[in-house]
Amino acid sequence: MSGATARLKLGVSYEGSGFHGWARQKDASLRTVQQELEEALSLVLRCPVQLVVAGRTDAGVHASGQVAHADVPVDCLEQRSLAGQPQRLVRRLSRLLDTDVRLTSCAFAPPGFDARFSALSRTYEYRVSTDPSGPLPTRRLETGWWPRQLDFSILNDVAQRLTGLHDFAAFCKARPHSTTIRDLQFFHWEDISTPSEPGLYRARLRADAFCWNMVRALVGASLKCADGRLDLDAVPGLLTEHQRSSLVPLAEARGLTLVGVHYPPDEELASRAAVTRKRRNSLID
């Protein structure tokens, strides 16, 4: 054994309704994306594998563009079926994993890459139906339900007022040693209704990072304003609060999908990770 390690960059997708979120739980009987992937990778590579992820999604939330990394001994990649080519893990894992989770890509990571700390932003989409009968059955696992009529124009009025660098404490579950100040870079709603799916809307949100439950709370606040139960003029005041607000509901988890993680050019990966770590450590200190 040479002792040398290599960092792998992995692309991951999953349909989240059957998982208790991304992160491993103390109760190993609870099914999580991290546990399933780590166990499958460890089996194929014949060594323990620990994943670091860009976005720790909650129970019931999906991902089509999740990114993770793992440091593995180079010798583990030299077995006959892999021949030193990490991309071969994609086919190997497709035979081991259940159909609701997939390793979509695997490659040697560029120098300085960290799936979590090198990221510039994460992008989510939220799909919601207001049809009184509920979401189309064939799309029910990826579509939230809000059984009230909406004023569509108000959705983007709310989104515009929330976009920017703010303290989103009113929209987040607090975590120890973490900040609720986030840069919400983009928030926009579209009407994507069709004859088979009337009253269907999609939100797209991008931020440097999101707090726990933040996306679902932003969506819930927008929908509550658009159905007339929350005054639009109350939105700026929510950004001055310092704890989770009871005025802001959580939209259902099933409508939410992590669709992408954006990184800087390769030559800036290490410096971006250093800046992010420094900011996090300053909050803990």
DSSP reduced 3-state for 184 = strand
- Model pTM score: 0.94
Q: Is the pLDDT of residue 280 over 90?
A: no
Which alpha helices (H) appear in 135-234, and where do they start and end?
Answer: 152-162, 214-226
DSSP reduced 3-state for 249 = coil
**Which helix (H) or strand (E) segment is 282 a member of?**
helix 269-284
CB 2 within 8 A of CB 66: no
Span 141-151, pLDDT tens digits: 999 999 999 99
Residue 285: its pLDDT value, please?
40
CA distance 215 to 250: 9
Q: Is the pLDDT of residue 56 over 60?
A: yes
What mean pLDDT, rounded, does the chain reach?
Answer: 95
Residue 283: its pLDDT value, please?
47
Of 243, 245, 220, 221, residue with least CA distance to 231: 221
CB under 8 Å to 98, separation ≥6 — which residues? 18, 36
Residue 233: its pLDDT value, please?
95
CB 272 within 8 A of CB 264: yes
Domain boundaries, the chain: 5-118, 121-260
Q: Is the pLDDT of residue 175 over 90?
A: no
Q: Which residue numbers belong to the known binding site for substrate?
A: 124
Domain 121-260 matching CATH 3.30.2310.20: the answer reads no
Catalytic residues, which ones? 58
Span 9-44, pLDDT tens digits: 999 999 999 999 999 999 989 999 999 999 999 999
Span 210-232, pLDDT tens digits: 999 999 999 999 999 999 999 99
Longest dimension (CA), the chain: 65
- DSSP classification of residue 213: T
Q: Is the pLDDT of residue 282 over 70?
A: no
Q: Which residue numbers belong to the known binding site?
A: 124
Q: Is the pLDDT of residue 174 over 80?
A: no
Share of the chain above pLDDT 70, in %: 97
CA distance 202 to 204: 7
Residue 2: its pLDDT value, please?
60
Quick check: do 5-118 and 121-260 share a fold?
Answer: yes
Residue 1: its pLDDT value, please?
52
Residue 132: its pLDDT value, please?
96
CATH no. for 5-118: 3.30.70.580
